[in-house]
């Protein structure tokens, strides 16, 4: 046995084992996308059989015993059959991905591809009966015949249909899916081309295995992203529920936290912050008043002017909210937003008298959003203010109460809302 054969057998044995492990991993995540996982598992199991069969065919190649006779021919046939099945299962998996991401499956192209794949399998069976495509010499070694291009065409035409499905749905695919699908199309073709010149090494099998494992990797990353998004959704729902609980203490400001969060998100987007930063600003704004849980409801609901001691209790909600949220160490901005959203840009706010950019960005954004909602919502002692009055107040306090950059963003938002749709 040559060194090349030894390497080929070792690689394909490893590939078969790895594909089986990957299939088991895909099986464990089938609840994420049952249809997609079924096609992926079939793809991986077929790849495992392909690698195992090719390893056996190489191991027994040249063996002239009765066992060698069958252990070359049967695995050799299985290798080519698996190549067609790989395309079939990949096509089914691809259609599932396209369906999930909202693309166009092109049923006609899909059915044409399936027809060519099944036709290729039929042609393969006929090649065993009538002795074309592959033959075996007296030493039990296989070699190609002149009709190689027929089998090549039957294998490559379905790939053209599959490639068309991929590239017509390109905009719907994620980056990892684009990479995986590109490799599935081009690596096997590259393997076939190289194998025409380097006979004796099954480069096509190696390339197909790498491409399939890349497809599996894309599935695993997609599943991981699904879990992250699921956890984020749960966190968002918990924060929203908590915010509603806070607002329920004060019927005069019901929905205040949600509105402030909405305005804060608009400001963060207007400032060009990253998508993740915008999300964090929104969550922080939802919980900025969490400290009001510790304020007596009679004070919160009092329609008259508050006494100095009562106002002192209300002012204490910022420090109290920070204390509550400080336990969430993975999101320190929550505690920062709760503590410092009443600080002023000129340093005359509370509770710590922070000034300018010493005030965290989230708190500066919430300060503007909170003030806008306070002016545009009804209160027991007054109705909401006219839009022009609100605009004048924000403009007048830019650089003193508010960060001037954030105030400018709020003014732009107001100017784009001539019908005053933003207010309560």
The confidence score (pLDDT) of residue 96 equals 87
Same domain? 258 vs 218: no
Within-domain flag for 128: yes
**Single pTM value for the model:** 0.62
The confidence score (pLDDT) of residue 152 equals 66
> pLDDT tens for residues 312-354?
887 888 998 899 888 888 889 999 999 999 999 999 999 999 9
Same domain? 222 vs 342: no
Same domain? 170 vs 100: yes
Same domain? 277 vs 208: no
Within-domain flag for 233: no
Within-domain flag for 200: yes
Listed ranges 198-207, 230-239, 371-380, 393-402; the one with the highest mean pLDDT: 393-402
Same domain? 294 vs 387: yes
Tokens of residue 246, six digits: 């806070």
Helices of type H across 249-386: 256-270, 275-286, 297-300, 308-315, 317-325, 332-340, 361-376
Same domain? 301 vs 209: no
Question: Which pLDDT band holds residue 206 (cuts at 50, 70, 90)?
Answer: confident
User: Could you tell me which residues are beta bridge partners of residue 134?
Assistant: 144
CATH number at residue 356: 1.10.3210.10
Within-domain flag for 15: yes
- What's the average model confidence in pLDDT over 220-229? 83
Whether the link from the prior residue into 247 is cis, omega within 30° of 0, is no
The confidence score (pLDDT) of residue 149 equals 65
Same domain? 158 vs 194: yes
DSSP 255: T
Within-domain flag for 240: no
Within-domain flag for 69: yes
Question: Which pLDDT band holds residue 101 (cuts at 50, 70, 90)?
Answer: confident
- What's the average model confidence in pLDDT over 147-151? 62
Domain limit, last residue, from 193, 226, 259: 226
Beta strand spans in 108-219 (E) = 134-136, 142-144
Same domain? 377 vs 262: yes
The confidence score (pLDDT) of residue 146 equals 58
Tokens of residue 215, six digits: 């497809």
The confidence score (pLDDT) of residue 380 equals 66
The confidence score (pLDDT) of residue 274 equals 93
Distance CA 238, CA 336 (A): 19
Number of domains in the chain: 2
Better-predicted residue by pLDDT, 300 or 45: 45
pLDDT at 195 over 90: no
Within-domain flag for 31: yes
Same domain? 194 vs 255: no
Distance CA 380, CA 160 (A): 69
Distance CA 184, CA 90 (A): 9
Percentage with pLDDT > 90 across the chain: 25
Same domain? 127 vs 275: no
Cα 155 to Cα 162, 212, 280, distances in angstroms:
11, 17, 50
What residue numbers bound the domain in which 410 lies? 249-415
Same domain? 217 vs 264: no
Cα 301 to Cα 245, 247, 285, 297, 338, distances in angstroms:
15, 11, 22, 6, 21
CATH number at residue 120: 1.20.1070
Question: Which pLDDT band holds residue 150 (cuts at 50, 70, 90)?
Answer: low
Within-domain flag for 241: no
If we measure between CA atoms, which residue out of 198, 196, 212 comes closest to residue 49? 212
Same domain? 202 vs 329: no
């Amino acid at each position: 046995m040559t060194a090349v054969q030894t390497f080929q057998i070792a690689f394909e044995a490893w590939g078969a084992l790895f594909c089986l492990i990957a299939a088991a991993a895909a099986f464990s995540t089938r609840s994420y996308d049952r249809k997609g996982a079924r096609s992926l598992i079939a793809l991986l199991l077929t790849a495992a059989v392909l690698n195992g069969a090719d390893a056996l065919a190489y191991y027994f190649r040249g063996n002239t015993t009765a066992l060698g006779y069958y252990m070359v021919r049967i695995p050799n046939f299985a290798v080519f059959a698996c190549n067609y099945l790989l395309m079939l299962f990949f096509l089914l998996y691809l259609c599932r991905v396209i369906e999930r991401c909202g693309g166009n499956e092109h049923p006609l192209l899909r059915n044409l591809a399936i027809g060519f794949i099944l036709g290729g399998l039929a042609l393969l069976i006929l090649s065993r009966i009538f002795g074309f495509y592959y033959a075996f010499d007296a030493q039990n070694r296989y070699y190609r015949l002149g009709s190689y291009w027929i089998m090549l065409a039957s294998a490559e035409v379905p790939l053209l249909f599959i490639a068309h499905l991929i590239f017509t749905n390109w905009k719907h695919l994620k980056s990892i899916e684009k990479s995986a699908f590109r490799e599935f199309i081009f690596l096997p073709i590259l393997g076939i081309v190289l194998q025409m010149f380097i006979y004796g090494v099954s480069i096509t099998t190696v390339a197909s295995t790498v491409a399939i494992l890349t497809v599996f990797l894309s599935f695993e990353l997609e599943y991981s992203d699904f879990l992250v998004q699921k956890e984020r959704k749960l966190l968002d729902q918990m924060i929203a529920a908590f915010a509603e609980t806070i607002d329920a203490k004060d019927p005069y400001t019901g929905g205040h936290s949600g509105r402030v969060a909405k305005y804060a998100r608009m400001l963060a987007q207007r400032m060009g912050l990253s998508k993740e930063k915008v999300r964090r600003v929104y969550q922080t704004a939802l919980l900025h008043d969490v400290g009001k849980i510790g304020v007596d409801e009679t004070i919160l609901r009092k329609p008259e002017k508050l006494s100095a001691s009562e106002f002192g209790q209300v002012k204490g909600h910022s420090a109290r909210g920070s204390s509550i949220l400080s336990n969430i160490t993975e999101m320190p901005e929550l505690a920062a937003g709760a503590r410092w959203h009443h600080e002023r840009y000129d340093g005359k706010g509370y509770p710590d008298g922070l000034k300018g950019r010493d005030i965290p960005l989230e708190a500066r954004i919430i300060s503007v959003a909170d003030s806008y909602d306070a002016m545009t919502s009804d209160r027991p002692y007054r109705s909401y203010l006219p839009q022009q009055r609100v605009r004048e107040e924000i403009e007048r306090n830019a650089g003193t109460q508010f960060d001037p950059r954030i105030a400018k963003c709020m003014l732009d938002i107001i100017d784009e809302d001539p019908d005053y749709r933003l207010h309560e």
